[in-house]
Structure 1
Amino acid sequence: SCFCLNNNAKTSLYFVVLAANRPHPSSKALPFEMSDPRLVFVIKSFDPRVHFAITFGAKSCPAFSVYSASSLDKQLSAATAHYLEDELSVYQVQRQVKVSRLFQWYWSDFGCNDVEAVRWCAAHVPGDKQYCLQLLLHQLETEGMVDIIYKEYFWNLNVYN
């Protein structure tokens, strides 16, 4: 089988095949109509960890990696943990969480609100950062006094990643 992509190949692959034919965040229209024969290539259920595995080569994008079908789940978890370790900042005293703008753009993939997004991150970030994030999550759930700050996204080419 073959999947034909247009000139926007990476975008098509990301928003159509890997995002389970869900609309781009700036649109409400499905990329493929229900009669489109290419739907056979589209995954059936979306996994938000894909956001941390796909790169467009920009500085704020995840690092490039090669994935294998036999260990995809483990690799997606590792890519997510690595990205969150680099891009998520937790400031306990200031009661702030700084996250990639990906969480703002794709908010519906992470629960549609700040509490759910922080909960999602807490389940996927490793080590001490997870503990600190869980403390802030508790404060967010009980008092609502935690700031979620979306970091600037750097689109310039990352020649090191």
Structure 2
Amino acid sequence: MKTFKTPMFLLTLFLCTITYSQNSADHTPWDRILVLNVTQNGLVNYEGVTTDVIIFYEYFRYLQNIAPQEHWDKKDKLAYWINVYNATAMKMILDEYPISSINEIENPWKRKAFKTNGTRYSLDDIEHNILRKFGDPRIHFLLNCGSMSSPGLWNRAYTGENISYALEERTSEFINDPQKNQITTNSARISELFKWYEEDFTSNHIEVIDFINQYAQVKVAPNTELKYVTYDWNINKKNEVTPITSNN
């Protein structure tokens, strides 16, 4: 990967924000990278990120060095692991960039790309063995694997302070995004996320439609047949467009 020079004063400014807190992680550098390089609809200017790649890698190393402590608040732990997932997916893409899909990387879901507290984790490990155990299906709408059909990457870092808001806002945004779901009163063409993680969305003894209707601006009638939009694995690059296709 081509490395771009970063002005020393900017690098110093970013690195000075990384502090080791006893009660939570400091995600300020990640927040600034996202603000500068992610659009409002969650697409990434990867060329912009590569310009500040030294800052990004320093933040990534920081995440590895500050494993959550038992006394951390649950919200801070959740924010940490969601940021870890999203930053790990981005690092895997940056390490191989330019690529057109994360699936061009050898075994991306099982690759042990993140290490903290002596343990190595893959994206699957982080999602299935850590994040899903928080018991909140809304986490699926905060995780970004660098694909067009993935929930858009938020142009903010998740923190203990904003995670409750983000869970609600990001879930509502995803469900009502016509590029991800096409919902009318009597039809529903929805993301394959709802098929892959159906047991999470129905864990409170409700149907997938019931979960969707909690957030959908247009409510789907009960017993409506669910159809699924084919997942677009192309990289979530700025100025790209996701075609909507049906996968019955």
Q: TM-score range by the shorter chain?
A: 0.5 to 0.7
Q: TM-score, normalised by structure 2?
A: 0.44
**Structure 1 contact 81–124 (Cα < 8 Å) conserved:** yes
Number of the residue aligned with 1:90: 183
1:13-53: CA deviation from partner (whole Å, max 9, x where unpaired):
11111111xxxxxxxxxxxxxxxxxxxxxxxx410000000
Q: Distance in 1 between matches of 2:189 and 2:175?
A: 10
Contact 1:99–1:149, Cα closer than 8 Å, also in 2: yes
1:78, CA displacement in angstroms?
A: 0.8
Distance between the aligned counterparts of 1:152 and 1:85, measured in 2?
A: 17
How far 1:97 sits from its partner (Å)? 0.8
Give percent identity, aligned residues only: 22
* 1:58 lines up with 2:147 in the alignment: yes
In structure 1, C-alpha distance between the alignment counterparts of 2:121 and 2:201, rounded to whole Å: 29
Unaligned runs of 5+ in 2: 1-65, 68-115, 241-248
Give the TM-score normalised by the residue count of structure 1.
0.66
Whose Rg is larger?
A: 2
What is the one-letter code of the residue matched to 1:47? D
Moved over 4 A (4+): none
Q: Matched residues in 2 for 1:154 and 1:53: separation?
A: 17
* Inter-partner Cα distance in structure 2 for 1:63 and 1:90: 19
Counterpart in the other structure of 2:196: 105
Using the TM superposition, give the Cα deviation of residue 5 of structure 1 relative to its aligned residue in structure 2, in angstroms.
4.9
The correspondence of residues 121-132 of structure 1 with structure 2, limited to 5 A, is 121-125=212-216, 129=217, 132=218
Deviation at 1:108, TM superposition (A): 0.6
Residues 5/159 of structure 1: CA separation in 2 closer, same or farther (3 Å cut): farther
Cα displacement (A) at 1:119: 0.7
1:6 matched to 2:127 = no
2:181–2:229 CA contact under 8 A, matched in 1: no
Equivalent position of 1:15 in the other structure: 128
Gaps of at least 5 residues in structure 1 are 21-44
